[in-house]
Structure 1
Amino acid sequence: MTTALELLQKRRSVKPAELVAPAPTPEQIETLLTIASRVPDHGKLTPWRFIIIDGAARDAAGTIVRDVFKSKNEDADDARLEIERTRFSRAPLVIAVVSAAAPHVKIPEWEQVLSAGAATMNLVTAAHALGFAANWITEWYGYDEEVLKRFGLKPGERIAGFVHIGTAARPPEDRPRPALADIVTHFKA
């Protein structure tokens, strides 16, 4: 069995709160994003982009999330507002993958969305290949128009995922996976 297959068989998501320093270096982040960019992209449209959220930017992003949450939930208590404020400081690095799918004369939008998903999964897999752990999540703020606007998304852009990256504080536990017999059929002529 190849190392790549072993990696794919063993990859596990790690909860953002269980991701600790160290995070990837700037050179490793460049490697991650280079690998994330090597995905099927019918028409070479590059229908995705990346936003790196690290260092003090994690707190700034969390403040945006808290402020937007508070504006929509005026009765939220301080404990809940603190949860919202720390959304991006749970892991030492967060990379947002932005889907920029748009109508095209030849390339269906669905293919463009799938390309953004493939870029997100490549990012997760590459993080694990470099010895880090990751978690791909969106949560409510990934769909909130005000948050997206304040994060610099353009009209029509969407969050494919926020990939939280760091070092696993402890080995991740596996979870039950579907039995192939339950999810595989054979087409018959």
Structure 2
Amino acid sequence: MNDTMLNDRSSLLSLLETRRSAKPREMVGPSPSPAELERILTIAARSPDHGKLAPWRFVTIAEAQRDAFETILREALAAEDPCASVAKHQKETEFAHYAGSLVVLVSAPVENHKIPVWEQQLACGAAGMNLLLAAHALGFVAGWVTGWRAYSERVRGAFCGPGERIAGFIFIGHPGREMEDRSRPALGDVAREWEAPAA
């Protein structure tokens, strides 16, 4: 293996070791350019996909569409919580207008297929993870969030077809402040050697 290959592998490992999620409410611009966003989504689609079903969708919300998105969120909130405070409605306005590009990740499993829905949902999650890594590799930060919006029928209906559901809202931009890494689980808490059952 030559030095170039070793350096490339070292850079890739460093990339994986340093990716972290950003809080969308703290992001600033600029957003990815159209070409950069296309590249991010193209990489995201290179995910493990048993059956080659592509059981996910990427729905982008343009800056000019944020007001319409806000309207949907406010209508959904009013339907789910008729007594929602002004502050809660203002929070939806802020969410709809967070800085950065916004991609709605949709889980779109193929029903009644030999590939179980669970495996297709895992593939959607892998596509989301690839999206985060691609954004990081291009010098951006990303935040993948869900919350009540992802489970609202009103919001789901604006982005999903029958049998689909929102896997998350992913914002892509730049950090508005120095990011801090969170604590990670100790390897011993999440990994172990298999012990074969006694005969």
TM over 0.5: yes
Checking the alignment, whether the CA contact within 8 Å between 2:59 and 2:159 is kept in structure 1 is no
Are 2:84 and 1:76 aligned? Answer: yes
Deviation at 1:109, TM superposition (A): 0.7
Partner of 1:187: 194
Give the structure with higher Rg (CA).
2
Residue 107 of structure 1, aligned match among 107, 112, 115: 115
Percent of paired sites with the same residue: 48
Contact 2:58 2:105 in 1 (8 A): yes
> What TM-score results when the alignment is normalised by the length of structure 2?
0.90
Counting helix residues as a fraction of each chain, which structure ranks higher? 2
Say if 2:172 is the partner of 1:169: no
Deviation digits for residues 59-103 of structure 1 (CA, Å, limit 9, x no counterpart): 221221111101222222222111022212123211011111132
Cα–Cα, structure 1 residues 74 and 188, in superposed 2: closer, same or farther, change >3 Å?
closer
* Structure 2 equivalent of residue 178 of structure 1: 185
Letter in 1 for 2:100: P
d(CA) in 2 for partners of 1:44 and 1:128?
A: 26
Contact 2:144 2:170 in 1 (8 A): yes
Aligned-partner Cα distance in 2 for 1:31–1:162: 18
Structure 1 unmatched runs, 5+: none
Task: Give 1:170 shift.
Answer: 1.9
Q: Matches of 2:138 and 2:178 in 1, distance apart?
A: 16
**TM-score, L = length of structure 1:** 0.94
Tell me the secondary structure at the aligned position of residue 159 of structure 2. coil
Task: Find runs of 4+ consecutive structure 1 residues off by over 4 angstroms.
Answer: none
Letter in structure 2 aligned against 1:87: F
Aligned to 2:3: none
Where does structure 2 lack aligned partners over 5 or more consecutive residues? 1-8
Q: What does 1:8-47 align with in structure 2 at a 5 Å threshold?
A: 8-47=16-55
- Give the root-mean-square deviation of aligned CA atoms: 1.3
Counterpart mapping for 1:113-152 below 5 A: 113-149=121-157, 151-152=158-159
Residues 13 and 133 in structure 1, CA contact (< 8 A), matched pair in contact too: yes
